[in-house]
Amino acid sequence: MALIKDQQLSLNHVATPDIRFADWLDDDLIKGESVLTNGADDLTCLLANANKLDMIAIEFETFADGRGFSMARLLRREGYQGEIRAVGDVAMDRIEFMHRVGFNAFELRDDQNVNEALTKLSEMSVHFQPSADGKGPAYMA
Amino acid sequence: MYAYNQFDQTLVDQRVEQYRDQTRRYLAGKIPEDEFRILRLMNGLYIQRHAPMLRVAVPYGLMKSEQLRTLAQISRTYDKGYGHFTTRQNMQFNWPTLESVPDILADLAKVQMHAIQTSGACIRNTTTDPFAGATADEIEDTRPWCEIIRQWSTLHPEFAYLPRKFKIAVSGSDSDRAASQVHDIGLHLYRNDAGQMGFEVIVGGGLGRTPVIGKTVRKFLEPQELLSYLDAVLRVYNLNGRRDNKYKARIKILVNAVGIEAFTKMVEEEWQFTKGKDLRLPQAEIERVKGFFKAPDYLSVEHAQSSLETEFIAHPAFATWHKQNTRDHKQPGYRIVVVSLKNQLQAPGDISHQQMDGIAALADEFSFGELRSTHDQNLVLADIAQRDLFNLWLKLTDLGMGRANIGTLTDMINCPGLDFCSLANAETLILSRQINETFDDMNYQYDLGEIQLKISGCINACGHHHVGHIGILGVEKGGKQVYQFTLGGSASNDASLGKTLGRSIDQDQVVVVIGQILDVYVQQRETDETFLQTVQRIGFAPFKERVYGTHQRSAA
């Protein structure tokens, strides 16, 4: 599973955690600064605890599940500056939107070509709406 | 109308190349079927019963003649020489090949058109009143706001994978011609008691399996905060809408599940984060967009007007057409013309390439080069000087688009049904043929007055049958195609959902039952009472009695 982080192929990175956020929250014995979360988790809780985490991996179990996009957006809005990593069904045709809403790391699906994926991060140079990446809307250019 | 600047053009051009590459990789086996399905839907490409179907966006129904000519050319080059206008003001091509779609999109981009987000679980085409900017009962022109919403919603990175499709409609006249109360978000532009212009925001309307009239979430929204508020609604929906069952995934289900008070609270809380910030519309941007929708160079009333008395007397058919198919314009000396795509020979909403070229020429000659599509599958030439009406009528008649039936029984909304759509359970086009054959007496139709007949071939209700004065829903029962009738629906200000009349009706009895329903109306109506008013006054019993009391061959 190749990882793109901060717009390049990453060779040295923390492994995707298997500690789920709900467990991390409940169990005082579980330490660590990386968690795995998805749309089923309590977002208010996640936002309240984000400052204790270095890395939040947001899981996309299916291609169609769009909740992770809003989760990343809200984390950035809350001021979270750690790594937000997209894991699960992560393919090159979606990472540009993911990047725009605040993901800065992408664990690509096995069938994805990393070099080709890197070119997809900025296929579109025009943005009609502001987002977490600070770009857009076009009329403010 | 809005004209693309370099940013708009770059966006569509880059999008074409992006989709071209996705198609290439899919055909090379590098993109799984399920994944490509979502990607192609975001570019308007369905796979239907017989062939792929491409849905081209017609933003808020507005087109210029050059665009319609390009659609004609596309239909000749890539399709079977015709197109189809939908209940969301878009145009569909029923027969392109999957491989040719990137080239079609490239042709569209040359005339500032696209197929972005016309399908899929994303924000769809924002629709509006086809008379916007011209109608005598206008409060404010909705089109600049529709354009602002269109841009904001286009390739929105956060809302591309919603629980389900999302449809926004905007109304800005006394009379709601945008069916805004049965949309996911309906926006009403109006002036409040303090004289300020703003939006009433209505959420959670919709048709389909669980039809619902939308509920007001905010009574008055300051226009500069339009996008920040929409952003809040979409975020609440994206995070909380159901994803376990695609038939329970629209925002109307969420609103019903949590209740309107709780839902409003969720939206208003989220809005506290977005309002007043980078989504607040600068006045300069509002003015820039409004600048594209200024009134055309109308002739002075002395030059535009014409009494038309001589023509009316010499050509009674023209007089009838004028009465049925034209509407009051805000500019003295002008009329709005509705072009009927409901002639007896074609499926409702279908238009041949010759007709497309013909209308484009008429738009150039008579209507400042622009035209609109309507959500009931007709076209509008919005700015016609009275002195041009007679010539226009002659030319429309030559094109087979002069049928004086707007607002009548045969001006029906009809989804393509089983003939085309893989979701359908029953044929619908056969019904429109039978209805046209049976009710061919226009004088009878005129006497009936306004009747909105809406036909859907399955429960997804693309034909809007729930909000028809008479609604017909095709279903499949025990291998047979049968039809359920509803009465009393309306998509207008008095929005209401029709109620089922009784047992399903066999296909060959549908026109009989329509005749019976109309008989009851004619017998029971009071002076000047419309069909809908009579239904509301006398209730269902007389209709049920007539249809089922004497009905011999109803289905079980």
Q: Which of B11, B38, B288 sits opposite A124 (nearest CB)?
A: B11
Mean pLDDT to the nearest integer, A89-105: 96
Phi, psi of B455 (to 5 degrees): -125, 130
The predicted structure's pLDDT at residue A31: 61
Task: Give the range among B167-176, B289-298, B345-354 with minimum mean pLDDT.
Answer: B345-354
Q: Average model confidence (pLDDT) for chain B? A: 95
Residue A82 CA to residue A104 CA, distance in Å, equals 9
The predicted structure's pLDDT at residue A127: 95
Q: Among residues of chain B, what percentage have pLDDT more than 70?
A: 99
B127 pLDDT more than 50: yes
The predicted structure's pLDDT at residue A138: 86
In a mutational test of the A interface, the residue from B5, B9, B161, B283 whose CB has the highest number of chain A CBs within 10 Å is B161
What is the widest separation between alpha-carbon atoms in chain A?
A: 51
CA of B433: how far to CAs of B342, B346, B460, B462, in Å? 10, 9, 22, 19
- Asked if B159 and A125 come within 8 Å (Cβ–Cβ), the reply is no
The predicted structure's pLDDT at residue A29: 61
Mean pLDDT to the nearest integer, B278-297: 96
Peptide bond into B416 cis (omega under 30): no
In a mutational test of the A interface, the residue from B39, B158, B159 whose CB has the highest number of chain A CBs within 10 Å is B158
Q: Which residues of B touch A98 (CB under 8 A)?
A: 157
Q: Which residues of B touch A63 (CB under 8 A)?
A: 34-35, 38, 161
Residue B328 CA to residue B349 CA, distance in Å, equals 24
Q: Which of B30, B38, B155 sits opposite A128 (nearest CB)?
A: B155
B48 pLDDT more than 90: no
What is the widest separation between alpha-carbon atoms in chain B?
A: 68
- Asked if B285 and A93 come within 8 Å (Cβ–Cβ), the reply is no
Phi, psi of B257 (to 5 degrees): -70, -45
Phi, psi of B326 (to 5 degrees): -115, 155
Q: Which residues of B touch A65 (CB under 8 A)?
A: 161, 243
Q: Which of B8, B35, B154 sits opposite A63 (nearest CB)?
A: B35
- Whether residue B195 lies within 8 A of chain A, CB to CB, comes out as no
Q: Which residues of B touch A108 (CB under 8 A)?
A: none
Long-range contacts of B24-31 (CB under 8 A, 24+ apart): B27/B98, B27/B99, B30/A111, B31/A91, B31/A93
In a mutational test of the B interface, the residue from A42, A62, A69, A89 whose CB has the highest number of chain B CBs within 10 Å is A69
* Prediction pTM value: 0.95
- Per-residue pLDDT tens for B408-448? 999 999 988 998 888 899 999 999 999 999 999 999 999 99
Helices of type H across B119-246: 143-153, 226-240
Q: Which residue of A has its CA nearest to B227?
A: A129
Asked if A38 and A21 count as a contact pair (C-beta separation under 8 A), the reply is: no
B144 pLDDT more than 90: yes
As for the ipTM of the complex, it is 0.96
Which residues on neighbouring strands pair with residue B215, listed in sequence order?
B203
Asked if B266 and B236 count as a contact pair (C-beta separation under 8 A), the reply is: yes
- Per-residue pLDDT tens for B5-35? 999 999 999 999 999 999 999 999 999 999 9
B316 pLDDT more than 60: yes
Question: What residues have CB less than 8 Å from B272, skipping those under 6 apart?
Answer: none
- Asked if A65 and B285 come within 8 Å (Cβ–Cβ), the reply is no
- Whether residue B392 lies within 8 A of chain A, CB to CB, comes out as no
Among A68, A138, A73, A77, residue whose Cα is nearest residue A100: A73
The predicted structure's pLDDT at residue B556: 45
- Per-residue pLDDT tens for B387-411? 999 999 999 999 999 999 999 999 9
- Per-residue pLDDT tens for B342-359? 988 888 999 999 999 999
Task: Give the range among A82-86, B18-22, B419-423, B458-462 with minimum mean pLDDT.
Answer: B419-423
